[in-house]
Amino acid sequence: MRHILVASTIVAAFVCHATAKPSPLDQDFSYTHQLLSANEEQEQNINQANHVPMLSWDDAYVKARALVQAMSIEQKVNITTGLGWTVGPCVGNSGRTTGPDFPELCLQDSPLGARYADGVSSGVAGINAAASFDKEAIRRRGEYMGSEFRAKGINAQLGPSMNMMRAPQGGRNWEAFGEDPYLVGVAAVETIRGIQSQGVMAVAKHLIGNEQETNRQLHSVHIDEKTMHEVYLWPFARSVEADVASIMCSYNKINGVYACESDYAINHLLKGQLGFRGFVQSDWSATHSTEDSANGGLDMTMPGDITFNSGDSYFGKNLTRAVKAGTVHEDRVTDMATRIVAAWYKLGQDQGFPQPNFDSFRPERGLHLDVQGDHKREIRQLGAASTVLLKNNDNILPLSSSQTRTLSIIGADAGPNPKGLNCEDHGCNDGSLAQGWGSGTANYPYLITPLEGIKHRAGNRMTITELLSDTDIATAKKLASEADIALVFVNANSGEEFITVEGHKGDRNHLNIWHDGDKLIEAVAEANNNTIVVVHSVGPVLMPWLNHPHIKAVVWPGLPGQESGNSLADVLFGDVNPSARLPYTIAQKLQDYPAKISNDMSFHYTEGVHVGYRWFDKQSIDPLFEFGYGLSYTRFEYVDPRVVVVHGDSQDPNVEVAANIMIRNVGQFDGAEIPQVYLSFPSIAEQPPQVLRGFEKVFVAKGSQAPAVFTLKKTDLSYFDTNTHKWVVPKGEFVLHIGSSSRNIKHSLSFTLN
């Protein structure tokens, strides 16, 4: 989503009641939003977070059809048309009707927290949620976000983001869940279920092919049928199965047609093959037509105006005229309205849903209600659970105050932003990095820096020296040489294309660490034999210093959000045993990756289904760190693997394969292991060498063992057959691989389906 920057200054709270006024876009609908007064009933709504029972789609449609049947053409058009950029309190506000009554809906960024609002949490990024490989934790993240969005009066959270990390330099990779469609699908499902358990609509985005920021509003991506289904559509299919309320179409063209008017993507794939029953909304200003968009399947245009503050809309009166002229059938507009109303009913939003109590563009009008609750605990836990330990030579970690007396902390990334807590949409890279930039952000209520977190945890048991500079190499060497252990902090940032940060217009220009961080790392390592490198990054970086003999450990916290320093300290000092895994491949060099950022206006995804680790496996390329990789402070053994074909007929819709393995903790610490299941298909399926088809997070006390159980059903055992244009379970021999990463396979077992 592309938004202009707005002031984020918090001013004294007071309530400003807006008078009813017509939208500048279309007199057919009116803007009647009024901010609520602070009363006891409102406070009760804000502080209540419940699991809201959802209606079935069938029941929601019964109610929706009854309401929409009573609407005029103009009224149906109203609720499909946004009010316009900055007209309402939210980044998107849909039109309303009276007689019959249907309210304006508030649609608000972002996938990690409520953007343009105060009193909200700013938690771990999507890429960190995926790195946890923890389904339960990802679900809880969705729940707390949903509760905050509801408490702010937001009907729809514009997330999760589900685009694939196809090219490692992609600017918004960090908003989503990595390079593997199975992992992305699981993370999307758990996030959606968590958000919607609070009665808030989740919005899965972006359909489809929005894997880079460069020329995103102009270029056309060409994706072959097999790749479309097995990679890029896969997470959306799982989201539909999870009853996602809305899906956002992307800026780019798909096979030559704008995504938001793509009959193929929306009508054929999404609503046809997948049976999606919610509504499709445009990305902000991604609508390019009236008739083509409506007939192509778009149900709601956002924020409503053709371009921001243009005063006209492709929908609104233009859509009404198209219906009356017969170029758009009224049944299509009825369907558009019914889908929106049905989603509203399905989430129970007709049952006393709060009105917006904040204003994105006029913050002085908001009530400034604090809806964070104790969510900082959840954020801190997930921050630690998503911190990947990449290297730990000589067991230098966890830190011990009895063995380490002096600690040196070096690098600007360890400290606060000298320009203030929040720059606009985080469009800067000063101080410690805890999320990328753009519309996928939320302002920090506070940010615990690594320096603060480490100092607090160490207390008076260690002497800590610090240098919050990336360029003072001489002082860095001096401090490092005087310490028992030196921690050097570096980062790499990216974001959305409407902000350029240090020459990076969304996408990264390279995979180097920013601010000449390699030079800082090497200088510290020359001066200290026990150097630990901490990398806050949006995605893979190059590591020419990795094998330096003095670099004993590499810690990868990613983008951990507001509790960054506390989460990191929990891992560094062993309060939390690291268990996170890389949701992407870190290559030895940029050229090893199958895809790069393209400057072409039309280009093909030539790597096909071989995205990420699949490409490295196919080409027999050794990565620096493979997908699914992550170390622990303890050691695990994988014993007694078994695979059982429960239903072995490939034509049986109930075909099922069960696998299990025992995980033994043979180390010195309690900890969690994340066994992963990869599947090799019969050759007829034309699949990559192996594809992820399962993972579980298993806690095992030291000296104990626990089982990991996996069930593979029809979806997991299928490939997309381009001859029949259907998903097919092939006959023949499969091989199931169980391991701790894509390259560390412990056991391989074969089974046959008839």
Helices 473-481 and 517-527 cross at an angle (nearest 10°) of 30
The CATH superfamily holding the domain 55-361 is Glycoside hydrolase, family 3, N-terminal domain (3.20.20.300)
345-371 per-position pLDDT tens digit: 999 999 999 999 999 999 999 999 999
Dist CA 393 CA 551 (whole Å):
8
Q: Which range, of 2-16, 291-305, 360-374, 507-521, averages the lowest pLDDT?
A: 2-16
Active-site choice (283, 299, 359, 617): 283
pLDDT at position 26 is 39
For the cut 60, the answer to whether the pLDDT of residue 478 exceeds it is yes
The three-class DSSP label of residue 99 is coil
Domain borders along the chain are: 55-361, 374-584, 636-753
Band the pLDDT of 9: cuts 50, 70, 90.
Answer: very low
Residue 283 bears catalytic tag: yes
Band the pLDDT of 502: cuts 50, 70, 90.
Answer: very high
Q: What is the mean pLDDT of residues 163-177?
A: 98
Q: What percentage of the chain exceeds 70 in pLDDT?
A: 94
CATH number given to 374-584:
3.40.50.1700
pLDDT at position 16 is 32
**Do residues 344 and 350 touch, judged by C-beta distance below 8 A?**
yes
Dist CA 538 CA 421 (whole Å):
19
The three-class DSSP label of residue 561 is helix
pLDDT at position 7 is 34
CA dihedral sign of residues 500, 501, 502, 503: negative
pLDDT at position 590 is 97
Q: Which residues pair with 37 in a beta bridge?
A: none
Band the pLDDT of 15: cuts 50, 70, 90.
Answer: very low
Dist CA 131 CA 187 (whole Å):
10
521-530 per-position pLDDT tens digit: 999 999 999 9
Dist CA 324 CA 73 (whole Å):
9
Return the structure tokens found at 61: 């449609």
646-662 per-position pLDDT tens digit: 999 999 999 999 999 99
Band the pLDDT of 396: cuts 50, 70, 90.
Answer: very high
The one-letter code for the residue type at 242 is A
The three-class DSSP label of residue 383 is helix
- Cα angle vertex 190, ends 186, 194, to 5°? 170
Return the structure tokens found at 602: 């039309």
Band the pLDDT of 615: cuts 50, 70, 90.
Answer: very high
pLDDT at position 51 is 81
For the cut 80, the answer to whether the pLDDT of residue 2 exceeds it is no
Nearest partner of 495 among 504, 486, 487, judged by Cα: 504
pLDDT at position 49 is 54
Average pLDDT, rounded, for the chain: 93
> What are the CB-based long-range contacts (under 8 Å, 24+) for 18-23?
18/365, 23/83, 23/84, 23/87, 23/95, 23/304
CB atoms within 10 A of CB 59: 13
Q: What is the mean pLDDT of residues 219-245?
A: 98
Q: What is the pTM (predicted TM-score) of this model? A: 0.93
The three-class DSSP label of residue 439 is coil
Backbone angles phi, psi at 504, to 5 degrees: -100, 110
672-688 per-position pLDDT tens digit: 999 999 999 999 999 99
For the cut 70, the answer to whether the pLDDT of residue 13 exceeds it is no
29-85 per-position pLDDT tens digit: 333 334 434 334 444 444 445 788 899 999 999 999 999 999 999 999 999 999 999
The three-class DSSP label of residue 144 is helix
pLDDT at position 46 is 42
Can you give 265-315 as a three-state secondary structure string?
A: HHHHHHHHHCCCCCEEEECCCCCCCCHHHHHHCCCEECCCCCCCCCCCCCC
The three-class DSSP label of residue 642 is strand
Q: Which residues pair with 221 in a beta bridge?
A: 254, 603
Dist CA 121 CA 135 (whole Å):
21
- Domain 636-753's class? mainly beta
Return the structure tokens found at 642: 């078994």
Q: DSSP readout, 105-163? A: PEEE--TTS-TT-SS------HHHHHHTT-HHHHHHHHHHHHHHHHHTT-SEE---B--
Q: Regarding predicted confidence, which is higher, 370 or 19? A: 370
Dist CA 182 CA 157 (whole Å):
23
Dist CA 214 CA 603 (whole Å):
12
Q: Which residues pair with 407 in a beta bridge?
A: 464, 485
Q: Half-sphere exposure of residue 490, counting CA atoms within 13 Å on the CB side?
A: 28
Dist CA 670 CA 636 (whole Å):
10
78-110 per-position pLDDT tens digit: 999 999 999 999 999 999 999 999 999 999 999
For the cut 90, the answer to whether the pLDDT of residue 4 exceeds it is no
pLDDT at position 50 is 74
For the cut 80, the answer to whether the pLDDT of residue 215 exceeds it is yes
Q: Regarding predicted confidence, which is higher, 28 or 137? A: 137
